[in-house]
A and B are shown apart, each in its own frame.
Chain A
Amino acid sequence: MNKACIFISAIFLTIGSSLKAQTDFSLRGLGRVIVSHDKLGGNLVKGDSATPIKGMGGYILFDLQPTLKVNDNIRANAILRVKQQFGSFFGDGTAFEFRQFQVMGKIGKYVDYHIGDINVEMTPYTVFAFPEMYHQFESEIFQIRRSVVNYENFVIGNAWRLQGVQGFAKLPVLKGIDVNAFGVRTNPTNDVLTPDRILAGTRAVLKATDMIHVGANYVGMLDIPIESANVNYTNHVITGEAKFLLDLDAVNLTVKGETGMSDYEFVKVADNQTVGYNDFFYDVNAGAVLKPVKLKLFAGYRDVGPQFSSPSAQTRRINIGMNPLLFPQVMANSVDRGQVLFDRFTQEGIYNRGVNPVLFPFNPAYNNIFPYGDATPNRKGITTGIASDTSLKVISAELRADLFSEIIGEGIKDLRKFLGVRGGFVLDISKLAGISSRSISLNAGLRYEKTTRDGFAPIDFTSTLIDGGLVVEVFKRFDILGGVKMLNAKGNEYLAVRDEFNLLSSFPPVTIDLTQVVFSGGARIRFANNSYFTVNYNVAPNKTAASPSTNYDIRQLFFNYTLIIP
C-alpha cells in the first residue's frame, strides 16, 4: 500500500510540477474518518445468542481530485479514492479506485461540454431525482449525517449522476436561449441477448422577454437494437413549459406550467409480446410574493396520468429491497432486518444510483401521496401553501397542503383520496435576539399524510413524520446539536406490485401500525467551512404494534471527521 501511495503521489506531483508552466493544475479533496459503535437491543434480540448485537465499524477515506486546465477549451479532473475499512492494519485491505472522471471545456463561443461522469437534471417530469422523503426542515445533526450518504451516492440536488456526454449552450436570440443536451448509457450490452440501453435528452428554454420564458423538453430511454436481443424497450417523453414573471411594486407574480406526454413500448422478442401505452400530464402553478409582508402565496393544479412513464423522473433514490449493512440479520441471524427510519439517512448501501424503467416498490409509511415525486402517476389535485420570502433572514418557513386523488382506481373502481400537509421552520434565534457572536437556531418540521378510500376495499391510512432540532454555538465554532425524527404510521393499505411492463399486477393488502424514532445529540467543532469533527449518540427505537416481540432499538455512537480541501 505504501508503495502504491508513494507512486500515485509521485505521479500527481510530477504532473503538477511539469505542467504548471503551460497549464493550470489544482488539487481539491475530501478526507473523512467515520467510526461508529453500534448496539442492537429490544425484544427482537432477547434470548437470541446467534444474532450479533454489538459492533464497531467505519472507514477512513481520502478523495483526491486533481484538475488539469489546459485552457478555457479543455480541462479534466478525476477523483482518486483511497479507502480503508476501520480496523485494518498497515494498509491491509486498502482499496484504490477512481471515483470520478470528467473532461469538460468549451467549443466555440457558446457551447460548453462535459464528458464522463455528468450530473443531469431537467424538469420534474423529465429528468429529476426527487428527494426520498420530506426532510426540508430536519435538524442539522441529521443533515450532517445525510450529507455523508449523499456524498457517497452522488446525491447532488435533484440531478442524476450518470456516465456519458452533456452539452450546454447559451444562444443570443431575443433574451437568450438556454440549451442543454445529454446522452448516457444506463445499461451495457452483453452483445448477445441484452442490448445497450441509453438515456438521452434535450432541453431548450427561450427567454422571449424578461417576463416570458417558454421551453421544450425531450427525454428518451431506449435500447440500441442488436440482432439477437431478446428485448426492445423505448420510452419517449416530450414536454413543453412556460413561465410568466411580473414584478410590480407590491407584488411579484409568477405563473408557470408544464405539460407533456409519454410513449412507452416494450417488446419481449422471445415471447413475441409487445406492450405499449401513452399518457400525459399537466401542471400549472401560480405564486405571488407579497413584498410588504415578505410572504409568498402559491397554488397549483396537476394531473399525471395513470400510465405516464418517465423513468428518469420517477425512479426512487431508495431501493426498499436493499437490506442495511448495519445489523443486517436478526432472528438467530437468519432473517433480513429490513430498513427503518434510521437507515434511510445513515445507510449508504440502500441508495439506488441507476434509472429504472419499472417503478420501484415503496413503503406507504414513508411516502404514500407522491412516492415517485411530482411525476407520480395516477394523481390529480391541488397544492396550495404559504412560505416566507427568501429575503427574510430570521426565519425560513413553509406550509403546504396537497389535496389529491387517483384518476383511475387501482384494481377497483373506487378512488384513493389523499390529504397531505407539510411544512416547518428554521428560526435563527441569535439574529432574533441580536446575538452576533454566537449562532443559535431552532427548527421543526411536519409531514402528515392521510389516504382514504370508500367502497368494497376501504383504505384508511395515516402517517406523520415530525422533525425537531436545535443548534447552539456554545463556544466559537463549537456547537451542541440535538435532533429528533419521529414517524408514526397506522392503518391499512394495498401495495402495488408491477410486472416487467410496468403494469400493475397485484395488490397485496397490508396493515401497518408502527412508530420509528431517532433521537440524536452531540457536538461539533468547525475547523473551517465544511470541515468539522462531530460526535453524536443516536437512539432509534422501532415499534410495531402487531408484533411487540419484534420491537428493537439501535444505539449508535458516531464519530465523523470531515476535511474538505476546496
Chain B
Amino acid sequence: MRMIKTKKYTSVFVIGLGLPLFIAASLLLFSGCKRTLKDSEIIGPQYKPAEAGFAITAYLSASTASADFGNSSMYFTAAFNQQVSWTLTITGEESGAVKTITGLSYSVDASNSTWDGSSSNVYFFKAGEDVNAVLTILGYSGSQSIVVNILSRKKYNTTYSNGIKYTVIDDFERPVGLASTYRWLDGPFKDLGDGAGTVAGITTAYKVDGNASYGFSGTDVNSNSWLAGVNTDPINSMTLGFATSDPAKYYVNLFVYGSGKANSSIQVKAYEVDDWSQVAATYDQTQNDGYVHDIIIDWTGWKLVSVRYADFKRSSDPVAGGNGNGIKEPHQVVGFALGLNSLPTFGKEVEAYVDFLVVTEGGPFKP
C-alpha cells in the first residue's frame, strides 16, 4: 500500500473527511442488513444433557411386543428424574432399516415416541423381523434396549398421510416366475440388438423393501441407448384413475440403486389415455399421450427419487405416446413403464435396480 507524507493540517482535514465517509458508508450498508434470527435465543434443535444425579426412574418398555403397523402404531415408555435429551434408535435386524426418534423431556411416552413403522433411512422395515430399540441419554453413559417383533409392515397403498395420497404401483415382491397381476409391471422386453448379455428381472440381490427389487444390467451394444424395459401389461391396466389433475401435485416416486457404472439411467414412462373408449388390451400408443422422465444415476447405493409429473417430458416418438392431445393429465394415467438406458452417453455397460414404485398425490413420498 502506498503511503504519502502529509502536513498536520492536511491530516486533520483528511480525518475530518475520511472518518465520516467511512462511517456513512458503513451505516448505509448496515441499514439494509437483516438478521432472520434476530429475536431467537437458540439456533438449531434445543438439547439438554444429563446432570449429576441423573437416574432412569422407569425403564424402557414397549406398548406391544408385536407391532402390527398395517393397522396401528406403537410407542415406547421410560422416565427420568431430570429433563434430558434422549434418542431412541430402532434398528431392523434383517432389513437394515433404522428409525431415530429424539426428544427433550422427563419421560418417553405416547406423546413423543409414537412409531408408525416408518424408517429414517432409505430402507423399509420388514414384516417378521425383530427390531432392537436402544434408548440413549445425552451426557449419560448407560443405555437401555428392548426387542420388538414386526408383525406387519407399515401400509402405504391407498392410504392418506398429511394430505398425501399413496398408490403403490409395484413393490416387486411377487415370487419369481409368477405371472403379473393387476398393475404390476411385466416383462422384460429387451433390445435384441444388444445381444444376449442384457439381464432384467426380479432379484433379491438388492432391495430397500421386502425381499426383492427389479434389476437391469447389460451393454448398449447397438448404441441406441435403450436396453430393456418392463411395463404394466396391458399398458392401460391401471384403469382406476387418479384424483388430481394438477401435474405439479402428482409425483412418481421410486427407489433407484446405482452400482457406480456411469451413464446408467432409468427412464420412467407414464401412459395417459385420451380416449377412454379404449378398453383394456386395446390401448393404442399412436393416439394417446406418453410422458417420460430420465433419471441419470450419478450415485452409488439406494436413493429415493421423486419426480413431479410437471417435470415429465412428452414422448418425442409419435407412435409411442407422442401423438395424443399433448396435455399433461395425471388423472388420465393408466399405465407405467420402466426402462434401462445408456445415457447421456450411448453404448455403455450400465446397471440399475429399482424398488417400490409409488404414485403420490399432494406431495412427494415420505417413507
Enumerate chain A interface residues (CB-CB to B < 8 A).
190-194, 208-212, 214, 227-228, 230, 238-240, 242, 244-249, 252, 255, 257, 259-261, 269-272, 276-280, 282, 284, 305-307, 378, 408-413, 456-457, 496, 503-507, 509
Q: Is the CB of B47 within 8 A of A411?
A: yes
Q: Tell me which of B21, B25, B138, B295 has the highest count of chain A C-beta atoms within 10 A of its own C-beta.
A: B25
Pick from A238, A261, A413: contact of B42, CB below 8 A.
A413
Pick from A193, A242, A412: contact of B25, CB below 8 A.
A242
Q: Is the CB of A259 within 8 A of B29?
A: yes
User: Of the 9-residue stretches B30-38, B174-182, B196-204, B275-283, which lies at the interface with chain A?
Assistant: B30-38
Pick from A214, A280, A411: contact of B45, CB below 8 A.
A411
Which chain B residues lie closer than 8 Å to A238 at the CB level?
A: 29
- Cα of A211 to Cα of B11 in the assembled complex, Å: 10
Q: Is the CB of A272 within 8 A of B364?
A: yes
Which chain B residues lie closer than 8 Å to A276 at the CB level?
A: 36
- Cα of A514 to Cα of B284 in the assembled complex, Å: 71
Q: With an 8 A cutoff between CB atoms, is B17 at the interface?
A: yes
Q: With an 8 A cutoff between CB atoms, is B55 at the interface?
A: no
Which chain A residues lie closer than 8 Å to B45 at the CB level?
A: 411, 504-507
Which chain B residues lie closer than 8 Å to A248 at the CB level?
A: 6, 11
Q: Is the CB of A269 within 8 A of B308?
A: yes
Q: With an 8 A cutoff between CB atoms, is B118 at the interface?
A: no
Which chain A residues lie closer than 8 Å to B251 at the CB level?
A: 270
Q: Is the CB of A277 within 8 A of B37?
A: yes
Enumerate chain B interface residues (CB-CB to A < 8 A).
1-6, 11, 14-15, 17-19, 21-22, 25-26, 28-30, 32-37, 40-49, 51, 102, 138-139, 251, 293-296, 298, 305-308, 311, 313, 344, 363-364
- Cα of A214 to Cα of B15 in the assembled complex, Å: 15
Chosen A-B contacts, 27 in total, with CB atoms closer than 8 Å, are: A214-B22, A227-B311, A228-B311, A230-B306, A239-B29, A242-B25, A244-B18, A248-B6, A255-B19, A255-B22, A260-B29, A261-B29, A269-B308, A269-B311, A278-B35, A410-B42, A412-B42, A456-B48, A456-B51, A457-B48, A457-B49, A504-B43, A504-B45, A505-B44, A506-B102, A507-B44, A507-B45
- Cα of A248 to Cα of B15 in the assembled complex, Å: 12
Q: Is the CB of B46 within 8 A of A408?
A: no
- Cα of A259 to Cα of B27 in the assembled complex, Å: 9
Q: Is the CB of A246 within 8 A of B15?
A: yes
Which chain A residues lie closer than 8 Å to B43 at the CB level?
A: 306-307, 378, 408-411, 504
Residue in chain A with minimal CB distance to B48: A456
Residue in chain B with minimal CB distance to A260: B29
Q: Is the CB of A270 within 8 A of B29?
A: no
Pick from B15, B41, B138: contact of A509, CB below 8 A.
B138
- Cα of A242 to Cα of B36 in the assembled complex, Å: 26
Q: Tell me which of B32, B43, B47, B49 has the highest count of chain A C-beta atoms within 10 A of its own C-beta.
A: B43
Which chain A residues lie closer than 8 Å to B46 at the CB level?
A: 411-412
Pick from B26, B35, B49: contact of A259, CB below 8 A.
B26
- Cα of A103 to Cα of B186 in the assembled complex, Å: 55
Which chain B residues lie closer than 8 Å to A271 at the CB level?
A: 306, 363-364
Residue in chain A with minimal CB distance to B8: A248
Which chain B residues lie closer than 8 Å to A307 at the CB level?
A: 35-37, 43
Residue in chain B with minimal CB distance to A211: B14
9 A-B pairs with the lowest CB-CB distances in the bound complex, closest first: A504-B44, A280-B33, A247-B3, A277-B36, A261-B33, A228-B311, A240-B29, A270-B306, A242-B22
Q: Is the CB of B42 within 8 A of A279?
A: no
Give the shortest distance, in Å, between B361 (CB) and chain A (any CB): 13
Give the shortest distance, in Å, between A122 (CB) and chain B (any CB): 16
Contact A192-B49, Cβ < 8 Å, known A212-B17, A280-B34, A305-B35: no
Which chain B residues lie closer than 8 Å to A239 at the CB level?
A: 29
Q: Is the CB of A190 within 8 A of B364?
A: no
- Cα of A413 to Cα of B35 in the assembled complex, Å: 18
Which chain B residues lie closer than 8 Å to A456 at the CB level?
A: 48-49, 51
Which chain A residues lie closer than 8 Å to B49 at the CB level?
A: 456-457, 509
Which chain A residues lie closer than 8 Å to B41 at the CB level?
A: 408-409, 413
Residue in chain A with minimal CB distance to B24: A242
Q: Is the CB of B29 within 8 A of A279?
A: no
Q: Is the CB of B14 within 8 A of A246?
A: yes
Which chain A residues lie closer than 8 Å to B344 at the CB level?
A: 190-191
Q: Is the CB of B308 within 8 A of A509?
A: no
Q: Is the CB of B29 within 8 A of A409?
A: no
Which chain B residues lie closer than 8 Å to A410 at the CB level?
A: 42-44
Which chain B residues lie closer than 8 Å to A193 at the CB level?
A: 295-296, 305
Q: Is the CB of A245 within 8 A of B296?
A: no
Q: Is the CB of A212 within 8 A of B33?
A: no
- Cα of A277 to Cα of B34 in the assembled complex, Å: 9
Q: Is the CB of A192 within 8 A of B296?
A: yes
Q: Is the CB of A278 within 8 A of B34?
A: yes
Give the shortest distance, in Å, between B211 (CB) and chain A (any CB): 28
Q: Is the CB of A260 within 8 A of B295?
A: no
- Cα of A307 to Cα of B295 in the assembled complex, Å: 34
- Cα of A38 to Cα of B291 in the assembled complex, Å: 58
- Cα of A415 to Cα of B238 in the assembled complex, Å: 58
Q: Is the CB of A192 within 8 A of B295?
A: yes
Which chain B residues lie closer than 8 Å to A270 at the CB level?
A: 251, 306-308, 364
Give the shortest distance, in Å, between B362 (CB) and chain A (any CB): 9
Further contacts, 20 of them, CB under 8 A, given A214-B21, A255-B19, A270-B364: A191-B296, A194-B298, A230-B307, A244-B14, A246-B6, A252-B3, A257-B26, A260-B29, A270-B251, A270-B307, A307-B36, A408-B41, A408-B42, A410-B42, A411-B47, A457-B139, A505-B44, A506-B102, A509-B138, A509-B139
- Cα of A252 to Cα of B36 in the assembled complex, Å: 40
